Amino acid sequence: MTPTPSQLNAQHCRNFIPKLHTTPYPEIDPSSVKLPSPFVVCIIGGRGAAGGGLARAYAQAGASGIILAARTRSGLEETANEVRSIGSKTKVVISECDITVEKDLALVAQTVMTEFDGRLDVVVVNSGYSGPMILDITKESPEDYRTAFDVHAIGLFYAAHHLLPLLDATQSPAMSFIAISSMATPTVGGMGGHAHYCVSKAAQARLIEMINEQYSNRGLFCASVHPGGMNSGFIQHDVPENIRKMLNDSPDLVGAFCVWLSTPGSSERQRKALNGRFLSCKWDVSKLEERFDEILEKDLLRFRIAVD
């Protein structure tokens, strides 16, 4: 079957940088980074594969404080113990938080105030939801569609609403707000084209673009980051076996990439070229840097409606 233009667009997005990685590599090795102190990171969705990879990376880079938030405490304890084994000087705080409940995000913000005197350098929103991959809107569950939007779009709004003021007040050179996205974001068809996930992830990325529009002139860096394909608990029951076999990226890759994005001292050119855009942690950063000028000139890696 010949791919549709939309399917080709998604493929071109995956291969925007042809050199891809599955594990961390020297250019983004978080252990080679020396974050200043204090440096506080909040990871919403701080459990599981990607949450663990993010927490480990910021601990390896020397973050002085890490807030781990998720719905259940049990998985967070495991991640917290990993962080403590990496950096004994890293203060780890656990906050039970359902991203779909606004008051929980307000409590996360209060935790930043009480535990870290209001300091916040980086926020990474990693919460995600996917139901079964059903490629027919009439057969998809309305509940799955609603829940996906609650988590990916409304939950991201809650996080931004309550945590951006703390980032703005801190005025860290690293000030960053990152949403863990998906290659479902540019996808509308093919074997991964299930509406509840793809459409809600697209809405999430569009909100990141709006945050960029409103806050970049105040020093904020934000991005939507595809975390690679991980064979995690998130997809165990909802992804067909033939697709699951292809999900072999290390969770540490997305963590290393996000540290690279948010490290203080990142070049002004890097922050300007990538701010507000859709990125993949699999893209080789040296090759990505070679395209910075083109990204800016053509305003790439954003949503738009084509009119010519």
38-76: pLDDT as tens digits: 999 999 999 999 999 999 999 999 999 999 999 988 889
Long-range contacts of 215-219 (CB under 8 A, 24+ apart): 215/164, 215/168, 215/177, 216/275, 216/276, 218/168, 219/171, 219/175
Per the structure block, which two tokens stand in for 302? 């954003």
pTM of the model: 0.94
Instruction: Check residue 158 and give its pLDDT.
Output: 98
Identify the three-state secondary structure at position 91. Answer: strand
Instruction: Check residue 264 and give its pLDDT.
Output: 85
Instruction: Check residue 238 and give its pLDDT.
Output: 59
Long-range contacts of 263-269 (CB under 8 A, 24+ apart): 263/33, 263/35, 263/61, 263/174, 264/35, 264/36, 264/39, 264/172, 264/173, 264/174, 265/173, 266/174, 266/221
Instruction: Check residue 296 and give its pLDDT.
Output: 96
Q: How far apart are CA 179 and CA 243, in angstroms?
A: 24
pLDDT over 70, % of the chain: 94
Name every residue whose Cβ is closer than 8 Å to that of residue 173 and which is 6 or more positions away in sequence.
264, 265
Instruction: Check residue 308 and give its pLDDT.
Output: 78
CATH code for the structural domain at 21-298: 3.40.50.720
What pLDDT band is residue 138 in, cutting at 50, 70 and 90?
Answer: very high
Give yes or no for residue 245 having a pLDDT over 60.
no
C-alpha separations of 35 from 44, 66, 78, 98, 137 in Å? 20, 13, 24, 29, 46
Task: Tell me the three-class secondary structure of 107-136, residue by residue.
Answer: HHHHHHHHHHCCCCCEEEECCCCCCCCCCC
Mean of the per-residue pLDDT values of the chain: 92
97-111: pLDDT as tens digits: 999 999 999 999 999
Q: How far apart are CA 281 and CA 140, in angstroms?
A: 30
Instruction: Check residue 233 and give its pLDDT.
Output: 58
7-48: pLDDT as tens digits: 788 888 889 999 999 999 999 999 999 999 999 999 999 999
What pLDDT band is residue 164 in, cutting at 50, 70 and 90?
Answer: very high
C-alpha separations of 78 from 48, 51, 73, 207, 231 in Å? 9, 11, 9, 31, 18
Instruction: Check residue 244 and give its pLDDT.
Output: 58
Per the structure block, which two tokens stand in for 143? 């509940």
